[in-house]
Structure 1
Amino acid sequence: MEQKRDVVLDIRDVPSPGQWITLSLQHLFAMFGATVLVPFLVGLSPGIALISSGLGTLAYLLVTKGQIPAYLGSSFAFISPIIAAKALGGPESAMIGCFLAGLVYGAVALVIKKIGLGWLMNILPPVVVGPVIIVIGLGLAGTAVNMAMYENPGAPAGELVYSTTHITVALITLGVTIVCSMFLKGFLGLIPILIGIITGYTAAFFAGIVDLSGVKEAAWFQMPEFMIPFATYTPVFSWEVALIMIPVAIVTLAEHIGHQMVLSKVVGRNFIEKPGLHRSVMGDGVGIMIGSLIGGPPLTSYGENIGVMAITRAFSVYIIGGAAVTAICFGFIGKISALISSIPSAVMGGISILLFGIIASSGLRMLIDNKVDFGNNRNLIISSVILVIGVGGAFVKLSDGVSLSGMALAALIGVLLNIILPGREKNSGNMFETEKKNKINAA
């Protein structure tokens, strides 16, 4: 493929020891802030979240036959349902609900394998997928900006405290990362994210917003308090919890498909067809079930790590696997986990501004590459509705504490509009076939 001209490390390439360690750490840092933030918000263990993300990622790589370089981290879509499930029956009930959501993934994967994905590509043409990918990136924009601007980014809107120091640190982090990605060559050109985080952390330390007390108090070896069914608790099935948790799989399945589309564009391969969407969906489901079996939050493929690969052009699954193993180790090493936890939100916000923006830009690139004609009212209507509903935060309430919102609702309405509105072009559903035709015509 043409995109492979500037590939630094292809999917099966084994990096040198120096590249392996450094690039894996870069992926670890890219996912760390969001992966740890979720358990903090829902009252679960950050250490277990790291371990479950590492185990889930390794399982994902096995299920996908080592052909998809994706990292699995804590899913934001499950925050409200976990809190609701905990209120009904404690954290044990939440874990049972998460396990059921993983089973839904497995069922969907089997259906895709049985029926195929032609129907899926027909209802998800570039005019639908492109705007949905843009929504994925822009939907995270508020999180990135809040982390960059406020002392307490997780607080309610009325309680946010603006900080000049935090925004300054975030801009320093962002600026250094941009400069490094643009001008550094050789090996240093492969690690702009890591350099940006280190520089931002240093700036934050001298600005006085780094708290190292947790590092001093933490033990070197620290065994997390795992929640293992039939070992630490007896699982009890609840239809109420199931009805709260299972519908969230709709959100994360839509997110998964969007991420697979983005990753396919970034790497230059059709992961939807090979190794197949059924394998990637099954891999995500296995990751969710692994997390639920040890007391960690559900997992999903991470846009942050796709952004890292888009910048570094290093796609090796060995790098992803190295990040996963390192995450597992960090979950047991108290001081290292505490040190990473001491990274201020401003630093992660500065990095996230760039990474989330790359996701949104990938959707725009998809529309351009597939020559979507916005002079056609049909295309204009579909993309416009998707963007406003997705970015605007529209939602449909399914039950107390569970809603279909944001990207998932936008994707669903986009699919319906694509089916209902007249004038759909034949064979317009497969964006990869469109790319092939464009290349043939160009030749």
Structure 2
Amino acid sequence: MKQFIDVNERIPLNQGLPLSFQHLFAMFGSTVLVPILVGLDPSIALFAGGLGTLIYILVTKGKIPAYLGSSFAFITPLATVIKTQGIGAALYGALLSGILYVIIALLIAKFGVTWLERLLPPIVVGPIIIVIGLSLAGTAIGMASKSYLVAFVALVIAVLANTYFKGFLAVIPILLGIVGGYLFALTQGIVNLAPIGNARWLQLPHFAAPHISSIAAWTIAPVALVTIAEHIGHLLVTENIVGRNFMKDPGLHRSILGDGIATIVAGAIGGPPTTTYGENIGVMAITRVYSVWVIGGAACIAIAFSFIGKLNALISSIPVPVMGGISILLFGIIAASGLRMLVESKVDFGSKRNLSIASIIMVLGVGNAVFHIHGLEIGNMAIATLVGIVLNLILPDDQKSPSGEKEKLGDKKIA
């Protein structure tokens, strides 16, 4: 007897609606956190994520259940560009990152995926993901410093939910941490409720348009190379859960193309770049409901919520230390996931080649610098990514010594 809802199955509205709300709750905390951290409107992130998900479902022919939300990988470059060049420039970088997705999708359709695996192996992607998390550490602590007590409470709630809760509650620790931290912040008198009362019930999201910026192009767009690797990982996990070969049908190229077009649209209207969400994959694993109709329902609800002015005001009223406490966990998880990739891929750091690549990527990535090359200003994340790719391509493999044995740093004494 079948005990799951398949990808293309439609279920009655009274059953599907609660399931769609579950997906909404799963992605909500992370999706609204990104725009708050970088200085964008949370309502436009909800709108862009919902619309992007519908675009993704359409491009993948309704064959892959995936929800697209705001990408954490872009937080540092987005925040940097918004601070120095403005929101329009950051949106231009986001739009270009989507175009890079589209180009890679077309190349995969033409030449397969082997070249991409060669370009972005774990020794390149892992350290970059670590850098993404560590580069945000100062931001998290800075926000938490506004009230360490409130930040601590929010962090503890999120950690306990992530560690001890089971079922659906285990998928939404970020949302639970935000809600719990917010309620505690109310008892401390640091929540300003006035904007909620003054806000209208219905209002348009704050749409914005991109404008050309070379700094944004080189600071933001290259991060797409890392999120594409993340996208592939999510797709493989979804395959295992659903029991279908999505890499073959509808194909990896369609999946990446859908994400790319969604990101282009997000950048064009004022939202952050999108990515597939592991939280929603977790919901599918728990509920065994894989229907794209349920995912699409969550997307439609998110779009509807983006027009509720009081909801946007409520999100904007979340105190900074609450977000700081949650960010400590989130950004640490990002860095740890890069380390996990290196461990699971069994990357050998006894290899001088691997050690050199990882070391250079991490120092260039964490270093807060802008590089000037032939009149172009290139951000540290872009440089770290590009240098890592180049080093991986040109450095010889030292896993085998002339005698056929592995040569490790520990095998030789330093004179």
Q: Same fold (TM over 0.5)?
A: yes
State the alpha-carbon separation in 2 of the partners of residues 140 and 311 from structure 1. Answer: 27
Aligned ranges for residues 35-74 of structure 1 at < 5 Å?
35-40=35-40, 46-64=42-60, 65-67=62-64, 69-73=66-70
Q: Tell which deviates more after alignment, 376-385 or 203-212.
A: 376-385
Return closer, same or farther for 1:186/1:39 CA change in 2, 3 Å cut-off. closer
Q: Tell which deviates more after alignment, 413-422 or 255-264.
A: 255-264
Asked whether the equivalents of residues 60 and 287 of structure 1 are also in contact (C-alpha less than 8 Å), the reply is yes
The yes-or-no answer on 1:254 pairing with 2:254 is no
Please give the secondary structure, in 2, of the residue aligned with 1:332: coil
The yes-or-no answer on 1:369 pairing with 2:341 is no
Return closer, same or farther for 1:225/1:373 CA change in 2, 3 Å cut-off. closer
Aligned to 2:404: none
Please give the secondary structure, in 2, of the residue aligned with 1:360: helix
Aligned to 1:410: 384
Q: What residue identity is the alignment partner of 2:152? A: L
Aligned to 1:146: 142
Length, aligned pairs only: 382
Aligned to 2:195: 214
Aligned to 1:34: 34
Please give the secondary structure, in 2, of the residue aligned with 1:301: strand
Taking structure 2 as the reference length, the TM-score comes to 0.76
Aligned ranges for residues 208-247 of structure 1 at < 5 Å?
208-224=189-205, 226=207, 241=212, 243=214, 246-247=217-218
Q: What residue identity is the alignment partner of 1:72? A: G
Aligned ranges for residues 181-220 of structure 1 at < 5 Å?
181-220=162-201
Unmatched 5+ stretches in structure 1? 1-7, 150-162, 229-234, 427-443
Aligned to 1:343: 318
Residue 277 of structure 1 and its aligned partner are, at CA, apart by 4.7
Instruction: State the Cα deviation string for residues 329-387 of structure 1 (Å, max 9, x = none).
Output: 22211112211221122222222222222222222222222222222222222222222
Aligned to 2:234: 263
State the alpha-carbon separation in 2 of the partners of residues 410 and 10 from structure 1. Answer: 41
Return closer, same or farther for 1:39/1:350 CA change in 2, 3 Å cut-off. closer
Asked whether the equivalents of residues 97 and 224 of structure 2 are also in contact (C-alpha less than 8 Å), the reply is no
Aligned to 2:328: 353
Q: Tell which deviates more after alignment, 332-341 or 355-364.
A: 355-364
Taking structure 1 as the reference length, the TM-score comes to 0.72
State the alpha-carbon separation in 2 of the partners of residues 72 and 81 from structure 1. Answer: 20
The yes-or-no answer on 1:21 pairing with 2:21 is yes
Asked whether the equivalents of residues 204 and 210 of structure 1 are also in contact (C-alpha less than 8 Å), the reply is yes
Asked whether the equivalents of residues 38 and 297 of structure 1 are also in contact (C-alpha less than 8 Å), the reply is no
Q: What residue identity is the alignment partner of 2:162? A: S
State the alpha-carbon separation in 2 of the partners of residues 196 and 82 from structure 1. Answer: 27
Identity of aligned residues (%): 42
Aligned to 2:406: none
Q: What residue identity is the alignment partner of 1:62? A: L
The RMSD of aligned alpha carbons is 3.9
Unmatched 5+ stretches in structure 2? 401-415
Return closer, same or farther for 1:399/1:203 CA change in 2, 3 Å cut-off. farther
Q: What residue identity is the alignment partner of 2:107? A: V
State the alpha-carbon separation in 2 of the partners of residues 362 and 146 from structure 1. Answer: 23
Q: What residue identity is the alignment partner of 2:397? A: G
State the alpha-carbon separation in 1 of the partners of residues 283 and 123 from structure 2. Answer: 25
Instruction: State the Cα deviation string for residues 101-142 of structure 1 (Å, max 9, x = none).
Output: 644543343233212221121232222222222222223333
Aligned to 1:429: none
Return closer, same or farther for 1:97/1:352 CA change in 2, 3 Å cut-off. closer
Q: What residue identity is the alignment partner of 1:420? A: I
Asked whether the equivalents of residues 50 and 303 of structure 2 are also in contact (C-alpha less than 8 Å), the reply is yes
Instruction: State the Cα deviation string for residues 412-435 of structure 1 (Å, max 9, x = none).
Output: 222222222222669xxxxxxxxx
